[in-house]
Amino acid sequence: MLNISLESVSPYIKKSDFRSFNKLQKRKHSKFLLRALITLFVLFIIFMFLPWTQNIRSSGTVTTLNPYDKPQNIQALIGGRIENWRVKEGDVVKAGDTILFLTEAKEEYLDPDILNNTKVQQDAKLKSADAYLSKRSFLSDQLIAIKDLRDTKLEQLNIKTQQINLEIEAEKQALEAAKTYAENATNQLDRMQNMYEKGIKSLTDLETKRLSNREANAKLVSIENKLLKLNREKDNINQEIEFTRTDYEQKRAKIDSEIQTVDSYRFSLLGESNKLQSKYNQIERRQSSFVVTSPITGRITKVLKNGIGEYVKPQENIATIVPEEFQRAVELFIVPNDMPLVQIGKNVRLQFDGWPAIVFSGWPNTSFGTYAGKVYAIDNDISENGKYRILVIENDEEKEWPNLIRIGSGARGLLLLNDVKIYYEIWRQLNGFPPDFYDPEKRKKVKSKAPLKKVK
């Protein structure tokens, strides 16, 4: 009843006779609904002020931090034929344990005495080189001998030259005396001739002076001839000195040439000997490389070459080994928009494949089944999937990661950022701002430090 009319009919109607009025009067739970709604609203307001941890979600895989802890391929250093396997898939081996044996397959190495024959060839080359070394020593001694002979002969010639020089000096003085004596004899002859013409002296005296003059001139000519002979002897000695020096230089050049030839042959033999030694070492190393050993301690997970007698090429993978103990890490991929917020040492919550977990992204401390980690390294270059790779290691201060985690298994991470209120996080999500774009705590500090203005 709407009671539109001014004349109310309510007094004339007995509401108890009508079922509808009875039901309307009995509805008392409307107040309970109102209280429930008010309570939910108050709880929602309180919920808006609860703390919320901003985070960045990412996914990746389990890996190792050290390169030598990752799965490795065992390779054959040389080619050969498989003779015997010592392991099977799933076996645990230590570093240095034998994996398989190979046998020789190349024709050039099939000689059973190849090492001994190579060593004999090398020894022969060394002996030949020693013989050339002895010949070089003989040539060096010969060079010293001809040098000593040259020095001795030059010394003798120098002594003879000095003697001739003394004789030349003596003859020069005798020549001067002979010239003086000849001049005196000539003058005496002229005076005697004048005196003879005047009749003062006899013809005998004149003949005597003429004889004396001739003797003086003859002695002068004799001394000049002797001096000329001594000068010629001196020239001959000088020529002999030059010849001795030239002859020595020719012999020395010839011996030096022979020495260079001997050295050339000797160095050539030494080079061939070194080649044979290198070949010997290669063959020895090759024979020792037929035994393939494990480089690390780990588990053989896959054998890539099967059967006996199968040929293996050099540097070919023959098996895969996974380390039993390794330093675990997780590689996560972050979108470029979130990279400025990632820093080394940031806390990360991790969830691994195979380990059930209940995750509350905003309340990481209340999550179940997650494990703690921290950012260890950040790549500066973007990956092929368009994201940046970060490495997360185990946080030693919290619960240890499961021991059964395997390399390559999946992982999901929550990179924890600042703690904010829920209303702020909802407002940030609605506006599309990145995490940590505004810091409410910093804003409060800024407002608290701002000076109060006086109201006039």
188 touches 209 (CB < 8 A):
yes
419 touches 413 (CB < 8 A):
no
Question: What pLDDT was estimated at residue 385?
Answer: 85
Any idea which fold 71-104+290-323 has?
A: OB fold (Dihydrolipoamide Acetyltransferase, E2P) (2.40.50)
Q: Give the residue range(s) of CATH 2.40.50.100 domains in the chain.
A: 71-104+290-323
Q: Give the residue range(s) of CATH 2.40.30.170 domains in the chain.
A: 51-68+326-435
Nearest to 70 by CA among 379, 323, 325: 323
Q: What is the CATH code of the structural domain delimited by 114-288?
A: 1.10.287
Question: What pLDDT was estimated at residue 454?
Answer: 36
Question: Would you give per-residue pLDDT tens digits along the chain (456 residues)?
Answer: 455 656 666 666 666 666 766 666 555 555 677 788 888 888 888 877 777 666 677 888 888 887 777 788 888 888 888 888 888 888 889 888 888 888 887 777 777 888 888 889 888 988 888 998 898 899 899 989 998 998 898 888 899 888 888 888 888 888 888 888 888 888 887 888 888 787 777 778 778 888 888 888 888 888 888 888 888 888 888 898 899 889 888 988 999 999 999 999 899 989 999 998 888 888 888 888 888 888 888 888 888 887 787 888 888 888 888 887 778 889 999 888 777 778 888 888 888 887 776 655 555 555 556 788 888 988 888 888 888 898 999 888 888 888 888 878 888 887 766 666 777 777 766 776 666 544 445 444 444 444 433 333
CATH superfamily, domain 51-68+326-435, is Efflux pump adaptor protein, beta barrel domain (2.40.30.170)
Question: What pLDDT was estimated at residue 118?
Answer: 87
Question: What pLDDT was estimated at residue 26?
Answer: 55
For helices 30-48 and 422-431, what crossing angle results, to 10°? Answer: 80
Question: What pLDDT was estimated at residue 438?
Answer: 42
Question: What pLDDT was estimated at residue 357?
Answer: 63
Q: Give the residue range(s) of CATH 1.10.287 domains in the chain.
A: 114-288
Q: How many CA atoms lie within 13 A of 247 on its CB side?
A: 13
Question: What pLDDT was estimated at residue 439?
Answer: 47
Question: What pLDDT was estimated at residue 444?
Answer: 47
